[in-house]
Structure 1
Amino acid sequence: MDALKKIIKDFPKFLWSGWGSIAAIFLFIAAWDVGNQIYGDMILPSPLQSFQSVLELFKDKEFLDNLSITIDRVIVGFGLSLSIGTILGLIAGFFVTASVASRPIITILMGMPPIAWIVLAMIWFGMGDMTVEFTVFVASMPIVFIGALQGTRTLEDKFEEMADTFKVPKLMKFTDIYLPHIFSYIFPAWVSALGMAWKIVVMAELLATSDGIGAALAMARSQLDTKTALALVVIMIALLMIVEYVFLEPIKKEVEKWRD
């Protein structure tokens, strides 16, 4: 509860520190506008046209339904990867044998291209939700697993010895020593996995479903509707940035303060 109050209290300071990022975004938009003037609306619609298309899309019920479907798929796939990856990573971190046995499996999962998983999932599950959710899970789970594994494997024995010397209760040892350290590794892994899940779900929908943001992007591609395609890309990036930088980044900074 105290940590949550601290995050809320420091939130205005966090927003102020984000002016550099905002300036970078405006610089990118300026470069985008220059590209529009060079290549024309057919190749690269102007920022103004794209943002107008964004507003038009949010007035379209079909788009809102597709957006809801995509978010649901992200929640299911990412939720599975978060829960299973965290549990297995903690187990592998606390037990050396499990860590050694899991290493080649995680290497295979990390090295497998997401497009290959999409093709296999289409064969195994057909065209639908299961294909997308499975691909999101299998692509993002190793990231969560590695974060949990590193968090447990990097626990320093001297802190545990000091706690034992002062006869610290087990519950306090877990909440004040183990949990902050492990969570400072797991939470950034969750953030990275969320970004991966968002990208993978759109890719899988583009190839394997007839609904969702990815399917809408495929439709815009088939109709050579560059303006709508770019508007969809803007929406996908904006939603991810809002979740990551407005909601998750302040929490991440708070849980990593112990490193300083």
Structure 2
Amino acid sequence: MSEKASAVSIRVGSIFVLVFIWYCAAVMMADAEVLPGPFAIATAIIGVLVEPGPEGRSAFFHLGITLGRTFVTFGVAMLLGIAIGLAMGLRKTIEYSMMSLIPLALTMPTILMVFLAVMWFGFNEIGSLVAVVGVVTPYVAVNIFQGAQAMDKSVIDMATVFRADKKMMIRKVYVPQLLPYIFSAFRFAFGMTWKIVALAETFGIKYGIGYMFFFWFEQFNMELVLAWIIMFVILMLILEHGVFARLEHAAFKWRPANKLQT
């Protein structure tokens, strides 16, 4: 068996072990209202997908709303983080000024940032955007800043001597050297973003997966709470390993020795 096949087998096997432990725990507890078994949750997921939910909204409507919020806020946070991190790496004045502010943002607990965002801007799209930007942007900025510090200065000097314009500097000099750091920040930031968006929705933002978590939590319907949670986790895993990992492999195809395992 090849190393790749062995890795896949171990991953699949670990999932089956987890499901088996879950099944045993549900049998031992013998209270489906507190801990439904995996078969009950699978049935609930099918029901959620094929039947309209509260207010006549389908599961795909809520999934689409959450994905839309996730991608928009993630994109804004990534662009801001890359811009700030690169500016810090290229300008000492910006580095000194931001290094006194970023640690404050990094030490802020995520749940408090979400609370503040929704209290300041309300239970709306702006609130979720501010929450994500406040939490994710500093992490991205620090990662890109470290990459900017590691850039080959001789390449930058050479491009300057040959009078490369700003667009060429960014496209041909900065981005290729920062690419490993960008992808590292990309995957971490996405993992943070969807959790923050779900948390903000749980606090009261209308519609979305987090909204459905809280709706069924108020009904104390643990079966549907777990069904929505598992659907969301599966969707994020598909995006992470089925889409983003492939993009990363394609971007680093010319550097097979440095290709990250996923």
TM-score range, shorter chain: 0.7 to 0.9
Match of 1:57 among 48, 59, 63: 48
Matches within 5 A, 1:24-173: 24-40=14-30, 41-61=32-52, 62=57, 63-157=59-153
- Shift of the 92–81 alpha-carbon distance from structure 1 to 2, 3 Å rule, reads same
> How far is 1:173 from its partner?
8.4
TM-score (norm 1): 0.83
Q: Does 1:192 align with 2:188?
A: yes
* CA offsets 1:40-78 (integer angstroms, 9 cap, x no match): 322221111112211221123422222211111112211
- Shift of the 128–44 alpha-carbon distance from structure 1 to 2, 3 Å rule, reads same
Given residue 47 of structure 2, which amino acid in structure 1 is its aligned partner?
E
**Alignment partners' CA distance in 1, 2:4 and 2:246:** 7
Check the 8 A contact 1:110/1:139 in 2, yes or no.
Answer: yes
Q: Indicate the SS of the match to 1:137.
A: helix
Which moves more between the two structures, 240-249 or 190-199? Answer: 240-249
Match of 1:214 among 189, 210, 215: 210
Given residue 11 of structure 2, which amino acid in structure 1 is its aligned partner?
S
Structure number with the bigger relative contact order (C-alpha 8 A, sep ≥ 6) is: 1
> How far is 1:80 from its partner?
0.7
Q: Indicate the SS of the match to 1:18.
A: helix
* Percentage of matched positions with identical amino acids: 23
- Shift of the 177–254 alpha-carbon distance from structure 1 to 2, 3 Å rule, reads farther
1:3 alignment partner in structure 2: none
- Shift of the 168–174 alpha-carbon distance from structure 1 to 2, 3 Å rule, reads farther
Given residue 113 of structure 2, which amino acid in structure 1 is its aligned partner?
W
Given residue 57 of structure 1, which amino acid in structure 2 is its aligned partner?
V
- Shift of the 120–100 alpha-carbon distance from structure 1 to 2, 3 Å rule, reads same
2:13 alignment partner in structure 1: 23
Higher helix share: 1
- Shift of the 255–169 alpha-carbon distance from structure 1 to 2, 3 Å rule, reads farther
> How far is 1:118 from its partner?
2.0
**Alignment partners' CA distance in 2, 1:67 and 1:151:** 34
**Alignment partners' CA distance in 2, 1:181 and 1:14:** 28
Check the 8 A contact 2:114/2:196 in 1, yes or no.
Answer: no
TM-score (norm 2): 0.82
2:221 alignment partner in structure 1: 225
> How far is 1:210 from its partner?
3.2
> How far is 1:198 from its partner?
0.4
Match of 2:176 among 160, 177, 180: 180
* CA offsets 1:219-240 (integer angstroms, 9 cap, x no match): 1111111111111111111111
Check the 8 A contact 2:201/2:207 in 1, yes or no.
Answer: yes
* CA offsets 1:185-236 (integer angstroms, 9 cap, x no match): 1111111000100001111111132321111101111111111111111111
> How far is 1:86 from its partner?
0.9
Check the 8 A contact 2:209/2:228 in 1, yes or no.
Answer: yes
Matches within 5 A, 1:6-17: 17=7
